[in-house]
């Protein structure tokens, strides 16, 4: 069945609303921090949530953007994120790597390239730092939940990656809405987890939403690209297979949660953030990078 632009946009809003209800993602009076990078998924999500929020006058949205300090890339994304927030009347906060960690990401990459101690791709350490920055930003704005634009494609890629890495129990934690495990850790929510990326892109297109199209110059986590190619190929041949993979993990998640060691969280001896070790991964990485 073909849908007109308006009906297609409404169908995405309705699907998102249904996902939110199914996983009980929010309370009616939540202050919700939306991680807006400026890319199509996060910007579409902001528009969808702004629409849904109209029915919940006690709920509040605040957009948070991480400025890693990636020259020629993040500057444009920041502008686009700000424009979308202004259009929707959503408060916008920016948190920078330079302020949080003392250096821009470009400077960190430069240092890592100059030494052979850190054997990680830029995305591997950027991911850890971004996660920490987003949590800090959400906490600073007093958010009850931190929402990210992970789509069905992202979720199934992560499933495959964890299997490739032999780390399947990690999936116990990758839930559509995380548990409250520590007072300093804002619960993370993924309202697009059942929506394919091509639909979030089409939503942005039909709503004439501006988003950043150019990729990050450091993007290219080899294994994730392989997982994406495998899944896209399978989906092309067998439509709906990504959703089946996602649902399979949802079905066995309770068993995974029982099997996964219940790790008690403590506070990092150096920065005070929640961690399972004495010193969190961010602080360990910062020491390595120097
Ligand atoms: Fe960071 Fe990688 Fe994302 Fe670039 S693509 S912002 S390096 S995680
Ligand atoms: Zn730390």
The ligand 1 atom nearest the CA atom of 37: 6
Q: Tell me the average pLDDT across 83-100.
A: 96
Nearest alpha carbon, ligand 1 atom 8:
123
Contact 52, 13 (CB under 8 A): yes
Question: Ligand 1 within 6 A of 118 CB?
Answer: no
Record the pTM.
0.92
Closest by Cα among 84, 48, 87, 81 to 66: 81
Closest by Cα among 23, 22, 21, 45 to 34: 45
Pocket test for ligand 1, best of 42, 66, 68, 128 (most atoms within 8 A of CB): 68
Please tell me the predicted confidence (pLDDT) of residue 220: 72
Nearest alpha carbon, ligand 1 atom 5:
219
The ligand 1 atom nearest the CA atom of 126: 1
In angstroms, rounded to a whole number, what is the distance separating the alpha carbons of residues 247 and 237? 19
Q: How far is the CA of 258 from the centre of ligand 1 (A)?
A: 32
Please tell me the predicted confidence (pLDDT) of residue 222: 76
Question: Ligand 1 within 6 A of 216 CB?
Answer: yes
Q: How far is the CA of 100 from the centre of ligand 2 (A)?
A: 12
Nearest alpha carbon, ligand 1 atom 7:
123
Among 50-64, 118-132, 174-188, 247-261, whose mean pLDDT is lowest?
Answer: 118-132
pLDDT tens, residue by residue, 121-173: 888 889 999 999 999 999 999 999 999 999 999 999 999 999 998 988 888 88
Closest by Cα among 175, 180, 178, 142 to 32: 142
Nearest alpha carbon, ligand 1 atom 2:
123
| Percent of residues, the chain, with pLDDT higher than 90 | 70
pLDDT tens, residue by residue, 32-74: 999 999 999 999 999 999 999 999 999 999 999 999 999 999 9
Q: How far is the CA of 274 from the centre of ligand 2 (A)?
A: 8
In angstroms, rounded to a whole number, what is the distance separating the alpha carbons of residues 236 and 24? 31
């Amino acid at each position: 069945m073909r849908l007109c632009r308006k009906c297609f946009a409404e169908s995405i809003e309705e699907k998102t609303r249904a996902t939110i209800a199914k996983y009980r993602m929010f309370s009616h009076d939540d202050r919700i921090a939306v991680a807006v990078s400026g890319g199509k998924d996060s910007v579409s999500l902001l528009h969808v949530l702004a629409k849904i929020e109209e029915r919940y006058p006690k709920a509040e949205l605040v957009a948070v953007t991480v400025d890693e300090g990636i020259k020629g890339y993040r500057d444009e994304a920041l502008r686009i994120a700000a424009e979308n927030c202004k259009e929707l009347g959503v408060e916008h906060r920016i948190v920078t790597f330079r302020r949080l960690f003392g250096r821009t990401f470009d400077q960190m990459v430069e240092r890592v390239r100059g030494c052979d101690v850190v054997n990680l791709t830029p995305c591997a350490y950027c991911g850890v730092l971004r996660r920490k920055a987003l949590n800090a930003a959400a906490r600073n704005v007093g958010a009850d939940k931190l929402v990210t634009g992970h789509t069905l494609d992202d979720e199934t890629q992560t499933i495959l990656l964890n299997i490739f890495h032999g780390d399947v129990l990690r999936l116990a934690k990758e839930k559509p809405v995380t548990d409250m495990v520590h007072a300093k850790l804002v619960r993370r929510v993924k309202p697009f987890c059942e929506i394919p990326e091509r639909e979030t892109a089409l939503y942005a297109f039909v709503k004439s939403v501006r988003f950043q199209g150019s990729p990050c110059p450091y993007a290219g986590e080899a294994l994730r690209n392989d997982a994406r190619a495998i899944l896209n190929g399978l989906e092309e041949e067998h439509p709906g297979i990504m959703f089946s993979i996602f649902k399979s993990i949802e079905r066995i998640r309770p068993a995974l949660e029982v099997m996964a060691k219940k790790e008690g969280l403590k506070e990092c001896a150096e920065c005070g953030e929640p961690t399972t070790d004495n010193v969190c991964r961010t602080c360990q990485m910062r020491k390595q990078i120097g």
